[in-house]
Amino acid sequence: MEFAEGAPCWADAALPDVESGKRFYGDLFGWTFDEGAGAEYGYYTQAYRDGRNVAALTPDRDGRTPTGWTVYFKVRDAETAASAVRDCGGHLLVEPLSIGPFGTMALAADPEGTVFGLWQAGTHTGFETQGEPGTFRRAELHARDRTTVAPFYASVLRQGAADLGISAAGNAPARFLVHFAVTDCEATADAATRLGGRVKEEPFDTPYGRVAVLTDNQGAAFAVHQG
Protein backbone atom coordinates (compact mmCIF):
# COMPACT_ATOMS: atom_id res chain seq x y z
CA MET A 1 0.00 0.00 0.00
CA GLU A 2 1.05 3.59 -0.57
CA PHE A 3 0.80 6.02 2.32
CA ALA A 4 0.77 9.80 2.24
CA GLU A 5 3.31 11.71 4.26
CA GLY A 6 2.12 11.88 7.87
CA ALA A 7 -0.51 9.16 7.48
CA PRO A 8 -0.71 6.25 9.93
CA CYS A 9 1.09 3.36 8.26
CA TRP A 10 1.77 0.80 11.01
CA ALA A 11 0.86 -0.29 14.53
CA ASP A 12 2.46 -2.62 17.02
CA ALA A 13 1.81 -3.69 20.58
CA ALA A 14 4.49 -3.99 23.25
CA LEU A 15 3.38 -6.77 25.58
CA PRO A 16 4.89 -8.52 28.61
CA ASP A 17 3.97 -11.91 27.10
CA VAL A 18 3.97 -12.10 23.31
CA GLU A 19 2.83 -15.73 23.22
CA SER A 20 -0.23 -14.84 25.29
CA GLY A 21 -0.84 -11.88 22.97
CA LYS A 22 -0.68 -14.15 19.95
CA ARG A 23 -3.38 -16.38 21.42
CA PHE A 24 -5.60 -13.40 22.28
CA TYR A 25 -5.38 -11.56 18.94
CA GLY A 26 -5.26 -14.77 16.94
CA ASP A 27 -8.59 -15.83 18.39
CA LEU A 28 -10.12 -12.33 18.35
CA PHE A 29 -9.14 -11.15 14.88
CA GLY A 30 -8.12 -14.34 13.11
CA TRP A 31 -4.49 -13.27 12.95
CA THR A 32 -1.64 -15.63 12.20
CA PHE A 33 1.96 -14.91 13.12
CA ASP A 34 5.45 -15.54 11.85
CA GLU A 35 8.09 -17.18 14.02
CA GLY A 36 9.40 -13.81 15.17
CA ALA A 37 12.64 -12.05 14.40
CA GLY A 38 15.83 -12.73 16.30
CA ALA A 39 17.44 -10.75 19.08
CA GLU A 40 18.92 -8.23 16.63
CA TYR A 41 15.36 -7.10 15.82
CA GLY A 42 13.98 -7.37 19.34
CA TYR A 43 12.08 -10.63 18.73
CA TYR A 44 9.55 -8.64 16.70
CA THR A 45 6.60 -10.81 15.63
CA GLN A 46 4.58 -9.92 12.54
CA ALA A 47 0.82 -10.52 12.46
CA TYR A 48 -1.09 -11.44 9.30
CA ARG A 49 -4.71 -11.51 8.24
CA ASP A 50 -5.39 -13.68 5.19
CA GLY A 51 -1.66 -13.73 4.50
CA ARG A 52 -1.23 -9.94 4.53
CA ASN A 53 0.81 -8.00 7.07
CA VAL A 54 -1.50 -6.09 9.45
CA ALA A 55 0.36 -5.40 12.75
CA ALA A 56 3.07 -6.72 15.06
CA LEU A 57 3.68 -7.74 18.65
CA THR A 58 6.93 -7.09 20.48
CA PRO A 59 8.22 -7.98 23.95
CA ASP A 60 7.98 -5.15 26.48
CA ARG A 61 11.34 -5.72 28.14
CA ASP A 62 13.42 -2.57 28.42
CA GLY A 63 10.78 -0.17 29.73
CA ARG A 64 11.37 2.39 26.96
CA THR A 65 8.10 1.55 25.24
CA PRO A 66 4.86 1.74 27.24
CA THR A 67 2.88 -1.51 27.31
CA GLY A 68 0.16 -1.23 24.70
CA TRP A 69 -0.44 -0.19 21.12
CA THR A 70 1.69 2.36 19.27
CA VAL A 71 0.71 3.90 15.94
CA TYR A 72 3.44 4.88 13.45
CA PHE A 73 3.21 7.68 10.91
CA LYS A 74 4.95 7.71 7.56
CA VAL A 75 7.78 10.19 7.17
CA ARG A 76 10.15 10.65 4.27
CA ASP A 77 13.09 11.38 6.55
CA ALA A 78 13.08 10.22 10.17
CA GLU A 79 15.93 12.54 11.20
CA THR A 80 14.10 15.59 9.86
CA ALA A 81 10.86 14.54 11.53
CA ALA A 82 12.67 13.91 14.82
CA SER A 83 14.14 17.41 14.69
CA ALA A 84 10.67 18.82 14.10
CA VAL A 85 9.38 16.94 17.16
CA ARG A 86 12.01 18.65 19.34
CA ASP A 87 11.54 22.07 17.74
CA CYS A 88 7.77 21.93 18.30
CA GLY A 89 7.83 21.05 22.00
CA GLY A 90 7.89 17.25 21.94
CA HIS A 91 10.70 14.86 22.77
CA LEU A 92 12.22 11.61 21.54
CA LEU A 93 11.95 8.38 23.50
CA VAL A 94 13.95 6.50 20.87
CA GLU A 95 16.16 8.41 18.46
CA PRO A 96 15.92 7.45 14.78
CA LEU A 97 17.12 3.86 14.55
CA SER A 98 17.85 1.88 11.41
CA ILE A 99 16.07 -1.49 11.38
CA GLY A 100 18.25 -3.20 8.78
CA PRO A 101 16.76 -3.06 5.29
CA PHE A 102 13.23 -2.68 6.64
CA GLY A 103 13.32 1.04 7.44
CA THR A 104 14.10 3.60 10.13
CA MET A 105 11.95 4.13 13.20
CA ALA A 106 11.75 6.59 16.05
CA LEU A 107 9.49 6.89 19.07
CA ALA A 108 8.35 10.37 20.01
CA ALA A 109 6.06 12.09 22.49
CA ASP A 110 3.99 15.20 21.81
CA PRO A 111 3.87 18.18 24.23
CA GLU A 112 1.28 16.33 26.36
CA GLY A 113 3.39 13.18 26.54
CA THR A 114 1.38 11.08 24.07
CA VAL A 115 3.65 8.49 22.45
CA PHE A 116 3.66 7.80 18.72
CA GLY A 117 6.04 6.36 16.18
CA LEU A 118 7.75 7.68 13.06
CA TRP A 119 8.48 5.28 10.21
CA GLN A 120 10.74 5.92 7.24
CA ALA A 121 10.05 2.95 5.00
CA GLY A 122 12.63 0.66 3.48
CA THR A 123 11.47 -2.75 2.37
CA HIS A 124 8.71 -2.68 5.00
CA THR A 125 6.25 -0.03 3.83
CA GLY A 126 3.55 -0.67 6.46
CA PHE A 127 0.11 -2.26 6.42
CA GLU A 128 -0.52 -4.50 3.43
CA THR A 129 -4.25 -4.07 3.98
CA GLN A 130 -6.46 -1.97 6.23
CA GLY A 131 -10.12 -1.19 6.77
CA GLU A 132 -11.16 -4.83 6.41
CA PRO A 133 -12.36 -6.95 9.37
CA GLY A 134 -9.48 -7.72 11.70
CA THR A 135 -7.24 -4.96 10.34
CA PHE A 136 -6.33 -1.37 11.22
CA ARG A 137 -9.16 1.12 10.68
CA ARG A 138 -7.99 4.44 12.15
CA ALA A 139 -6.08 6.07 14.98
CA GLU A 140 -7.82 8.52 17.28
CA LEU A 141 -5.91 11.06 19.36
CA HIS A 142 -7.33 11.82 22.80
CA ALA A 143 -5.82 15.15 23.86
CA ARG A 144 -6.19 17.29 26.95
CA ASP A 145 -5.69 20.54 25.04
CA ARG A 146 -6.37 20.62 21.30
CA THR A 147 -4.86 24.08 21.00
CA THR A 148 -1.52 22.67 22.15
CA VAL A 149 -1.33 19.46 20.16
CA ALA A 150 -3.04 20.44 16.90
CA PRO A 151 -0.25 22.86 15.85
CA PHE A 152 2.35 20.27 16.90
CA TYR A 153 1.01 17.58 14.57
CA ALA A 154 0.37 20.08 11.81
CA SER A 155 4.08 20.97 11.92
CA VAL A 156 5.55 17.49 12.49
CA LEU A 157 3.24 15.33 10.37
CA ARG A 158 1.44 17.89 8.21
CA GLN A 159 -1.78 16.46 9.68
CA GLY A 160 -4.70 18.59 10.83
CA ALA A 161 -7.02 17.99 13.78
CA ALA A 162 -9.66 16.44 11.53
CA ASP A 163 -7.13 14.04 9.97
CA LEU A 164 -6.09 12.76 13.39
CA GLY A 165 -9.59 12.65 14.86
CA ILE A 166 -8.50 14.71 17.87
CA SER A 167 -10.98 14.48 20.73
CA ALA A 168 -11.01 15.64 24.33
CA ALA A 169 -9.40 13.22 26.78
CA GLY A 170 -11.34 14.58 29.77
CA ASN A 171 -9.95 13.01 32.92
CA ALA A 172 -8.40 10.14 30.95
CA PRO A 173 -4.72 10.16 29.97
CA ALA A 174 -3.80 11.68 26.62
CA ARG A 175 -3.11 8.89 24.11
CA PHE A 176 -3.56 7.50 20.64
CA LEU A 177 -6.28 4.84 20.47
CA VAL A 178 -5.84 2.33 17.65
CA HIS A 179 -9.11 1.18 16.03
CA PHE A 180 -9.49 -2.20 14.31
CA ALA A 181 -12.33 -2.93 11.90
CA VAL A 182 -14.87 -5.61 12.88
CA THR A 183 -18.20 -6.78 11.54
CA ASP A 184 -19.95 -6.82 14.95
CA CYS A 185 -18.88 -4.70 17.92
CA GLU A 186 -21.00 -6.54 20.46
CA ALA A 187 -19.80 -9.97 19.40
CA THR A 188 -16.17 -8.84 19.40
CA ALA A 189 -16.51 -7.28 22.86
CA ASP A 190 -18.01 -10.52 24.16
CA ALA A 191 -15.20 -12.53 22.58
CA ALA A 192 -12.54 -10.25 24.09
CA THR A 193 -14.04 -10.80 27.53
CA ARG A 194 -14.04 -14.58 27.07
CA LEU A 195 -10.37 -14.38 26.06
CA GLY A 196 -9.38 -12.56 29.25
CA GLY A 197 -9.71 -8.96 28.11
CA ARG A 198 -12.31 -6.50 29.29
CA VAL A 199 -14.69 -3.87 27.97
CA LYS A 200 -13.70 -0.33 28.94
CA GLU A 201 -16.50 1.35 26.98
CA GLU A 202 -19.55 -0.59 25.85
CA PRO A 203 -20.41 -0.34 22.13
CA PHE A 204 -21.69 3.12 21.20
CA ASP A 205 -22.64 4.92 18.01
CA THR A 206 -20.45 7.60 16.43
CA PRO A 207 -20.74 9.54 13.15
CA TYR A 208 -18.19 7.07 11.74
CA GLY A 209 -19.80 3.83 12.89
CA ARG A 210 -20.24 1.75 16.03
CA VAL A 211 -17.27 1.61 18.41
CA ALA A 212 -16.27 -0.23 21.58
CA VAL A 213 -13.12 0.34 23.65
CA LEU A 214 -11.49 -2.82 24.96
CA THR A 215 -8.32 -4.04 26.62
CA ASP A 216 -6.56 -7.26 25.80
CA ASN A 217 -5.62 -9.92 28.34
CA GLN A 218 -2.52 -7.89 29.32
CA GLY A 219 -4.18 -4.52 29.70
CA ALA A 220 -3.34 -2.98 26.29
CA ALA A 221 -6.21 -0.70 25.19
CA PHE A 222 -7.61 -0.62 21.67
CA ALA A 223 -10.93 0.04 19.96
CA VAL A 224 -13.02 -2.02 17.58
CA HIS A 225 -14.96 -0.26 14.85
CA GLN A 226 -18.02 -1.54 13.01
CA GLY A 227 -19.27 0.21 9.90
Question: 86-121 b/e with 16+ CB inside 10 Å = b?
Answer: eebebeeebebeebeebbbbbbbbbbbebbbbbbbb
pLDDT tens sequence for the chain (227 residues): 889 999 999 999 999 999 999 999 999 999 999 987 777 777 899 999 999 999 999 998 665 566 799 999 999 999 999 999 999 999 999 999 999 999 999 999 999 999 999 999 999 999 999 999 999 999 999 999 988 899 999 999 986 555 677 777 676 778 999 999 999 999 999 999 999 999 999 999 999 899 999 999 999 999 999 98
8-121 and 136-226, same CATH topology = yes
* Cβ atoms of 114 and 176 closer than 8 Å: yes
pTM, to two decimals: 0.94
Q: How far is CA 164 from CA 39, 82, 153, 160, in A?
A: 34, 19, 9, 7
pLDDT value for 206: 92
Q: Which CATH architecture has domain 8-121?
A: Roll (3.10)
Delimit the domains of the chain by residue range: 8-121, 136-226
The reply to whether CATH 3.40.50.880 applies to domain 136-226 is no
Q: How far is CA 203 from CA 197, 209, 217, in A?
A: 15, 10, 19
